[in-house]
Structure 1
Amino acid sequence: MGRKVTVRDKILETAATLFYNQGYVQTGINQIVAEADIAIGSLYKHFKSKNDLLYSYLEQEDIRFFTTVEEKLAQKKTPREKLMAYIDFRIDQQKTGNCTGCHFIKINAEIGRTDDEVQQLVQKHKEKQKNLIKKLVTEIQPSKNNFDAKQLTEMIFTMIEGGVVAATINGNTRSLEDIKKLADKLI
């Protein structure tokens, strides 16, 4: 039997859907309250402000992202297979989300440097992604090229992030699929 959905969870899930689909600025507290079918007091019981709700949303998305990544990578044996599985995961995210982008890139583009905590949460999430790639690249110990692990990590990370943006713009995952082939050749 599944875990009971709490009011807090319901608010977070509603806000996550709205923030992702229509943006943080375009989402009002009254809309969250109406779509979550809760009283406004319930929202403020769990979250001090709309910003507090945003921070919780980003923290939740970070946990969800890395929990899923860990599950996908655990199914693979070698570091190379794990890196390819990570890229496949990013491709699948775009396919299941109709190529609508990354939660963190979208919020960063919308709010950017106007909110230090958002900036820190986005940077922390992206740094964790980069560290994962670096760990795998270092374990692979590529010898096909003249790049060191740090350079390869930066290239692969930047290509993937650019591929996510390209998927959003083009409405398909072709760029990400090409990036996977290129990353495989690089390592």
Structure 2
Amino acid sequence: MKTKATANVRQRILETAARLFYQQGYPLTGINQLIAEADVAKASLYQHFRTKDEILLAYLQQASQQWFQQVAEATASGTTPKAKVLAVFDMLHDFLVTENFRGCNFQNALLQLPPEETQVRAFIQEHKVRIGRVFNEILNDTALAEEMALLFEGALVSSQTIGNPAPVATARRVTERLL
């Protein structure tokens, strides 16, 4: 059974990892830096995670859970399928302008992982597929949901590339015309 103190240490490690992985990248974040900045003992870190890849996976799992909670909250306010889909694009836009956006943490991690790290890669791929399922649940149209997912992901990557959220606004306008 986990004690509150043990859970707090785990959460502190994950919060520190989230910040460091996002700000400086997975390969440039060392275990010693993570231990120092999380203010935990090396034994405590290894009590919770055997490897840096396990920390990355746990961080991405937590980020995915939070992301889809935000998607659920955004779509709950929509009264039509169109309004729900547009709310997802609005949520992405709001995220990009309120965060110190350094790109999609899932895409960043995927690009930085060694090819042999299949468990984290599989999780990232599943996370990305899930957005298409969200659109399909809203629209009940697989082909249209795939198009929305492509617009969403393309806008996300394009925003990272050019350093501003304009592609999300463009993708939203295209979505509005398609729906």
Amino acid of the structure 2 residue aligned with 1:74 = A
Residue in 2 aligned with 1:105? 107
Amino acid of the structure 2 residue aligned with 1:172 = N
Aligned positions, number: 175
The Cα offsets for residues 67-120 of structure 1, whole Å up to 9 and x where unpaired, read as: 111122222222211111111111122222233211111111111633110111
Pairing 1:96–2:106 present: no
Pairing 1:129–2:131 present: yes
Structure 2, unpaired ranges of 5+? none
Percent identity for Structure 1 against Structure 2: 35
Residue in 2 aligned with 1:172? 164
Q: Could you tell me how far 1:171 is from its partner in structure 2?
A: 1.2
The Cα offsets for residues 27-72 of structure 1, whole Å up to 9 and x where unpaired, read as: 0001111111111111111111111111111111111111111122
Residue in 2 aligned with 1:45? 47
8 Å CA contact 1:99–1:167 kept in 2: the answer is no
8 Å CA contact 1:69–1:89 kept in 2: the answer is yes
Amino acid of the structure 1 residue aligned with 2:162 = N
8 Å CA contact 1:76–1:82 kept in 2: the answer is yes
Residue in 2 aligned with 1:159? 151
Q: Could you tell me how far 1:129 is from its partner in structure 2?
A: 0.6
Cα distance between partner residues in 2 of 1:162 and 1:97: 19
Cα distance between partner residues in 2 of 1:26 and 1:36: 16
- The range that moved more, 24-33 or 93-102, is 93-102
Choose the corresponding residue for 1:120, options 114, 119, 122.
122
Pairing 1:83–2:88 present: no
Q: Give the CA RMSD over aligned residues.
A: 1.7
The Cα offsets for residues 143-173 of structure 1, whole Å up to 9 and x where unpaired, read as: xxxxxx3332222211211111111111111
8 Å CA contact 1:99–1:173 kept in 2: the answer is no
Runs of 4+ in 1 over 6 A off after TM superposition: none
Amino acid of the structure 2 residue aligned with 1:179 = A
Structure 1, unpaired ranges of 5+? 139-148
Residue in 2 aligned with 1:181? 173
Distance 1:76 1:112, change over 3 A: farther
SS in structure 2 opposite 1:85? Answer: helix
Cα distance between partner residues in 2 of 1:134 and 1:17: 32
Under a length normalisation based on structure 1, what TM-score does the superposition of the two structures give? 0.88
Choose the corresponding residue for 1:29, options 26, 31, 52.
31
